Structure 1
Amino acid sequence: MNQVNRRKAFIVAIALMAAGLGVTACGRSQDAPGPQLALDAPLPTTIPPGTRLVIGDPTTQRVLEHTGWIKDLPFEVQWAQISGGPQVTEAFHAKALDVGSAANIPPIHATWVGIPVRMIAVRLRTEPYKYPLFELGVSPKAKITSLADLRGKKIAYSPGQVQGEIVLRTLAAQGLTTQDVTLVELPSTGDVYPNALVTGLVDVAPLGAGVPTKRYLDNYAKDGGKVLRHPPFRDDLLNLYVREETLRDPAKAAALREYVKFWARAAEWTRTHKEEWAQAYYVKDQGLSLQDARFVVAASGDSVIPRDWSEAIALQQASIDTLAKAGGQKPFDAAQIFDRRFETIAADAVAPVKTAQNEAQP
């Protein structure tokens, strides 16, 4: 099945999922639309009975299941095994998803393809250059020993994901443009990028640091596969984002306000329970050995949930400008895709936990 057919099949699958979920999944249960919430109105705090969110945030889901906190969610939830920009964008387009989890580029791409979205939660790495989220996988068949060898090479490229920005910034750091290489447009979902590297379809592809790079090296380092660090720029902005349409629903806006708190609580739990998280997720869910799981957790570093989004907005603006210049898109003000009504909610949710931890230390 070629790429176009795979894309069509995925869209059909999403549409069928939306139909199966019914109106209450991502719409209102009433036949007539209810009152609309202005995007600058205060967030409601009351969640009506029967409110449901469809959430594509697998990592948070696993933490909530493991800790038992999932039973404390004050609304109904339908978990969707959807993550990453392309899948979230398709699900948003089909109105089959309320909340998506991804890096920073998907909300930008959604805006450019006509899906109005807002970011409602943000995480940043505390040591972004020591622990990047992505690294550059090199094909065993490629004659590449450093980034200086990229000219003329075939590079996997996904314009709607952070991997695409990584490629563009890496080329710029080497004094190259997209005309100096061959960009092979491929979705980075599943094993597409590792398979493309192994078969020689591409010479270089951005891989997620951690599980993807560990598996790639375990399987192909003996054949000459390797991983290179991209130049020192930040690739670490993680976020939750939603359709503006979802935010206009007062009941869902109230539920989102609470979900952000659980998201923050889950993130803080993984930061302070590294060994337990390694076993519960990377061993039991991802199939790594305990030794590899510990390696991945250690290599992931720590993240922080900022109470002020100014740095995140500046990072997003730099990404918008970079992608707009390369892709011929119209740049826009990054602040427009941040819903700053949520700005302090996540950080405030974990502040008491951090205070208690600090007081407990000798």
Structure 2
Amino acid sequence: MTNYISMKIFSGNRLQQQERTAQTKKGLLRSFWAILALGGVLSVTASNAQNAVVAQTPPNLSNVTLRVAKYKGGWDLQLKLAGLDKFPYKVEFTEFTGGNLMTQAINANAIDLASGSEIPPIFGIQSNAALRLIASTRGPTIAQTLLVPKNSKAKTVADLKGKKIGYVKATTAHYFLIKMLEEVGLSLKDINAVALSIPDGLSAFRRGDLDGWATYGYAIAQAKKDGARELKSARNILSGNFLIYAAPTAVADPNKKAAIADFLCRIKKSQDWREASAKNLDNWSTKYAEAIGVEKKVVLDDAKEGLKQRRSQLFPISQPAIASQQNVADTFAKTGVITSRVNVAPLWDGTFTDAINKCK
């Protein structure tokens, strides 16, 4: 009996010891997994902290050279007059006569930033050009018109049927000429349409080689000096959107991207400066007239007339701007100017939306 009791006690103690050992093992196992989990959290936290440090590292602008396309008397002049030309990076300005040439230069990786109408990028799509549209400036549309010589008997666009009409290919002039003809039931096939550059068009018009000329800018004032007459204005045809073009390689480069963001803000501020007072507008008109070789009065009068329509403002990309360009592209496709319909949306890049919105 005593042996039986002793065995029961021994068995009970053994079971309790085994249970305690099992509980200890479970506790150790839980501690092991807890340590592993904590290590993972600490590892992720350390990794995130390291990434945060990298993300917060300011871009190095001192070694950046931003290659910018400009028109005569364009961005460089306006930034200088507004006192916004002290860049923390180097800027190389190259002068071009049109947005179509700028898109070609971007595609050839010769420039990083440019501006032009909605139209050149449409032609760029068909040639698989490497291009991004990163913002738009909406401004007045007054200096866009269809001219006829002083001795012309044409009273409406319909009177130009069968006539020799000059225009600037792949520009707003190309587009508004199509729309003007459409309004009177005609197309480019109903006229003798001749694609000419602005200088060549002005020369041909002055020689009397053209019955009409679809053009823009201050060539209009020069032609009117010789007695040219405006047959129809494109003021209510065009959107007024002037797009900012960028090279995809520049947008992808962190340092150049920072420089572009800064440059866009300076453009926005220089627009505000130009139109902030009559004094600023007068000063700009004086210098701009000197740069392009036109009388100051012509420039100032056009600027004042433009302000009556709308002031120039830089905006980030938007659905209305994309839709406007798509409408232009569809018009070109419908009339056979381009071989097929193109989708413009993939060209638009919202990388700089926050930077533009925060620019004050």
Scaled to the shorter chain, the TM-score interval is 0.7 to 0.9
What is the identity, as a one-letter code, of the residue corresponding to 1:349?
C
2-structure distance, mates of 1:102, 1:70: 21
- Between structure 1 and structure 2, the one with the greater Rg is 2
- Percent of paired sites with the same residue: 22
Q: CA deviation at 1:320?
A: 0.9
> One-letter code of the match for 1:329?
T
Hey, what does 2:128 align to over in structure 1?
A: 114
* Paired position in structure 2 for 1:196: 204
Residue 330 of structure 1 is matched in structure 2 by 340
**Contact map agreement 1:47 1:255 (CA 8 A) in 2:** no
Q: Aligned pair in 2 of structure 1 residues 260, 45: CA closer, same or farther (>3 Å)?
A: farther
Assess, with a 3 A threshold, how the Cα gap between structure 1 residues 45 and 333 changes in structure 2: closer, same or farther: farther
Distance of 2:356 and 2:143 partners within structure 1:
21
Q: CA deviation at 1:136?
A: 1.1
Question: Which whole-Å CA distance do the structure 1 matches of 2:107 and 2:211 have between them?
Answer: 32
User: Could you tell me how far 1:162 is from its partner in structure 2?
Assistant: 1.8
The aligned residue for residue 197 of structure 2 is: 187
Which residue is 2:283 aligned to?
A: 276
Shift in alpha-carbon separation, 1:77–1:228, aligned structure 2, 3 A: same
Aligned length: 297
5+ residue gaps, structure 2, are 1-54
Are residues 1:139 and 2:139 paired?
Answer: no
List aligned pairs for 1:148-187, cutoff 5 A: 148-187=158-197
SS in 1 for 2:136: strand
Q: Distance in 2 between matches of 1:142 and 1:269?
A: 42
Is 1:315 the counterpart of 2:297 in the alignment?
no
Equivalent residue of 1:345, what SS? Answer: helix
- What corresponds to 2:271 in structure 1? 267
- Residues 184 and 288 of structure 1, relative CA distance in 2, 3 Å threshold: closer
**Aligned partner of residue 115 in structure 1, secondary structure:** coil
Which digits, 9 at most, give the CA deviation of each residue in 1:172-193, with x for residues without a partner?
11111222111112233xx222
SS of corresponding position for 2:226: helix
Alpha carbons 1:137, 1:226 under 8 Å: kept: yes
Give me the CA root mean square deviation: 2.5
Q: Which residue of 2 aligns with 1:74?
A: 88
TM-score, reference length from structure 2: 0.75
Assess, with a 3 A threshold, how the Cα gap between structure 1 residues 226 and 133 changes in structure 2: closer, same or farther: closer
Per the TM alignment, residue 161 of structure 1 is displaced from its structure 2 partner at its CA by 1.5
Q: CA–CA distance in 2 between the matches of 1:92 and 1:306?
A: 21
Amino acid in the other structure paired with 2:321 = A
What residue is the counterpart of 1:55 in the other structure? 68
User: Is the Cα–Cα contact under 8 Å of residues 317 and 353 in structure 2 kept in the other structure?
Assistant: yes
Structure 1 residues 234-273: aligned runs within 5 Å: 234-272=238-276, 273=280
Report the residue type matching 1:179 in the other structure: K
Contact 1:309–1:343, Cα closer than 8 Å, also in 2: no
Secondary structure at the counterpart of residue 53 of structure 1: strand
Shift of 1:329: 2.7
What TM-score, normalized by structure 1, do the two folds share?
Answer: 0.74
Q: Which residue of 233, 240, 243 corresponds with 2:237?
A: 233
Residue 257 to residue 45, structure 1, CA distance change in 2 (3 Å)? farther
Structure 1 residues 170 and 226, CA, compared in 2 at 3 Å: closer, same or farther?
closer
Report the more deviating stretch, 85-94 or 317-326.
Answer: 85-94
What does residue 356 of structure 1 align with? Answer: none
Long gaps (5+) in structure 1: 1-41, 351-362
Q: Is contact 2:104–2:129 with CA below 8 Å preserved after alignment?
A: no
* Counterpart residue number, 1:30: none
Structure 2 distance, partners of 1:105, 1:262, is 25
Q: Structure 1 residue 286 and structure 2 residue 299: aligned?
A: no
Provide Cα deviations, 1:143-168, integer angstroms capped at 9, x if missing partner.
Answer: 32222312112222333222111111
